[in-house]
Structure 1
Amino acid sequence: MSTAVAPSHSLAFAPRIQELLDRDEKVFRIDPDKVGVSDSRLLAEIVAARPVHSTERSVYKPAAGADIPHDSATRTIRALGQDAMAGIRKPPPPARGMSGTWPYAGTSHLRRWLFSDDALPVALLSKRGVSRSDSLSLLVDRAVTRWPGRPGRAGSTELAGLIRDAEDPLERRQAAAMYRRATATLCDGVAGLTGNALWLMGPQRRQEWHRGDLTAILWETLRLLPPAWMLYRKGGEAYAGLHPEIRPGDDIALFPLLMHRHADYWSQPLEFRPERWDGVADPEKAPAFMPFGFDGARCWAKHLVVPLAERLLTTALENGILVRSPRPEAEVPLRSLLSVRFEARLAV
């Protein structure tokens, strides 16, 4: 079930993902305590069976050794939206930073675009090299709690303001953790979607791109390679009885990646066809399409992802990005965010 883009431009999924793609069943047992679901009707019933628990949403997971209050998470989401919308109105940083391994090059470029104006060490919270190291993260967190920046600093983000305005050490540590979490989730997701689109477009579409085509290209990319390719729900009585395969206590793995590729729901499901979205006023209402989750538990940054990806993709294409990989088949590793790995450089 590899994506048919072009004979010379294909994908190699990680074995665990390929095993899922090779399955014919829409409801199947993954292990003794976990069931996979990609059936559109059953998936809707599971979604409606109970509200999403706070522990099942990444933004609410504990930080700095304590639970995140709901109002604090809400402030973070609101601040991130303000920062992202303000950021994409600024000129992008030098395009040379988009050369290298994707999606990492895209992530770094987007973080510089949106968050590099924050004072040190706050700006370091969004650096990929720092966030990947527990020891560096701890040092930066400690520095931020002691030096959160000055009020009214030009260019400072709303997220940085939440750190600066915290009233006690725990609130400041949590605000720093939420800064890192929010910026990483947004930038990694947008870069993953943009990189997936670059690969699926292939050389010919990249050469012939037009601004008006990019939104449809991104929606079609979200269908074939949704970064949020699996949604996980803890088991419970609410799901028992919805399907014979689901037992009380079974955890549920919902697979948009599989649902988006079922011939029952889509014509020519393995073909990259952005034109299928022509005239679709609200793609998220398309049947059997779940690019950002579902009602009550949609991605909290979903309204930012496509506009930011369109800006990032536009910048890459305007600078003549060239995909350079040692072989025509790109790898899609097993990660929480589904993203194609490839090397790229800019022509100008």
Structure 2
Amino acid sequence: MATATARSRSVVFAPTIRDLLARDEKVFRIDPGKVGVSDSRLMAEIVAARPVLSTERSVYKPAAGAEIPHDSATRTIRALGQDAMAGIRNPPPPVRGMAGSWPYAGTSYLRRWLFSADPLPVSLLSKRGVTRSDALSRLVDRAVTRWPGSPDQDGRQDGGTALAGLIRGADDTLERKQAVAMYRRATATLCDGVAALAGNALWLMGPQRLPEHRADLTAVLWETLRLLPPAWMLYRNGGTAYTALHPEIRPEDDVALFPLLMHRHPDYWSDPLEFRPERWEDVADPEKEPAFMPFGFDGARCWAKHLVVPLAERLLTVALDNRLVVHSPQQEAQVPLRSLLSVRFEARVLGA
């Protein structure tokens, strides 16, 4: 199950992922305190056994020494959706911004497209050069907390996104610090996830069948989510809720759920390693397909799932309309061990 073939291109996973893909068991022990699961039925039961903890969510985990209140999280989700839909209606930035190393070029391009209305230093919160440095991140966080922006002469806020407005509208320092953390996490999660999905699709499509694939980019993206789901593992902290579900799981065991393994298993899929977007052509609701978990199960689905595929399709459309192509002599691409599975490659704009 280790290597997926897209007619002329393939991917090579990091050794840890290759070891996982080589396993035949659907329930297996990873180490003395961790159990891996790729069985469709058991995964659904585990997700349904208890609500997801805040510490198990990348966006909602505690910030500034306190839990993120539910109403604050809800406001963030709504604001992000509002900003993403408003931003994508704007003309896209020059496509040369997509050239370079993917998925980083795609992430930077999306941030310029969706969140360019935010003034400094808010716009710095999600810049890659800032987020890679703990010292710079802390400096920018403090600056935004102390100077979140001010109303203009008509009493309106000085432009910016709805997410930035949550920072400015905070009632106290703790709420503002948490709003800063939520801005950084929400924009990063969305842009990183969309760029990873779009980049994976660019690689898997390949040049030979590009005209055919372009006819239905939505199907291309669902098939990409099957073969290379950016969120390839879901993690659950141990406890008694899972012990009755399978004899391998003990109360002290953490549980790792692997959509990546489930999506490639021949028990669930025909020609599981083949990139075949046509398998989705007559599927009315892909998320109801058995053994397919691109965004999680009911009750624990990704909070931005309704944004990811439409944004990735828009990003791909702009890229292909402007002749962005994979620029690599290699027919194999590396997929390193990261929280988001993403193919690494160089891209350029033809004629630029």
Q: Which runs of 5+ in 2 are unaligned?
A: none
d(CA) in 2 for partners of 1:344, 1:231: 30
Is 2:62 the counterpart of 1:62? yes
Deviation per residue, 1:113-158 (Å, 9 max, x gap): 0011111111111211111111111111111122212333565100
Rounded Cα–Cα distance in structure 1 between residues aligned with 2:282 and 2:170: 46
Deviation, structure 1 residue 326: 4.6
Superposition pairs of residues 36-185 of structure 1, within 5 angstroms: 36-151=36-151, 152-153=156-157, 155-185=159-189
How do 1:229-248 and structure 2 match up within 5 A?
229-248=232-251
RMSD: 1.3
Distance (Å, rounded) in 2 between the aligned partners of 1:336 and 1:291: 14
Question: Quick one: distance in 2 between partners of 1:140 and 1:15?
Answer: 36
How many pairs does the alignment contain? Answer: 346
Distance 1:283 1:267 in 2: 16
Residue matched to 2:229: 226
Q: Does 1:284 align with 2:287?
A: yes
TM-score by length of structure 1 reads 0.97
Q: Give TM-score, length-normalised by structure 2.
A: 0.95
CA contact (8 A) 2:201 2:220 kept: yes
Aligned position for 2:5: 4
Post-superposition Cα deviations, 1:292-341, rounded to whole Å, max 9, x if no partner, equal 01111111111000010001111111111121125221000000001000
By how many angstroms is 1:24 displaced?
0.8
Q: Which moved more, 1:131-140 or 1:192-201?
A: 131-140
Match of 2:340 among 337, 341, 347: 337
Hey, what's the Cα distance between the residues in 2 that align with 1:259 and 1:29?
Answer: 16
Consecutive unaligned residues in structure 1, runs of 5 or more:
none
| Paired position in structure 2 for 1:15 | 15
Q: Identical aligned pairs, as a percentage?
A: 80
Q: How far does residue 247 in structure 1 lie from its aligned partner after superposition?
A: 1.7
Q: Deviations over 1:56-87 (max 9, x none)?
A: 12222111222211111111111001000111
Query: What is the identity, as a one-letter code, of the residue corresponding to 1:110?
Result: L
Aligned in 2, Cα 1:154/1:146: closer, same or farther, shift over 3 Å?
A: closer
Query: Does the aligned pair in 2 maintain the 1:220–1:272 contact within 8 Å?
Result: yes
Q: Partner residue of 2:258?
A: 255
Tell whether the 8 Å contact from 2:40 to 2:291 is kept in structure 1 after alignment: yes
**Matched residue SS, 1:244:** coil
Match of 1:201, as an amino acid? M
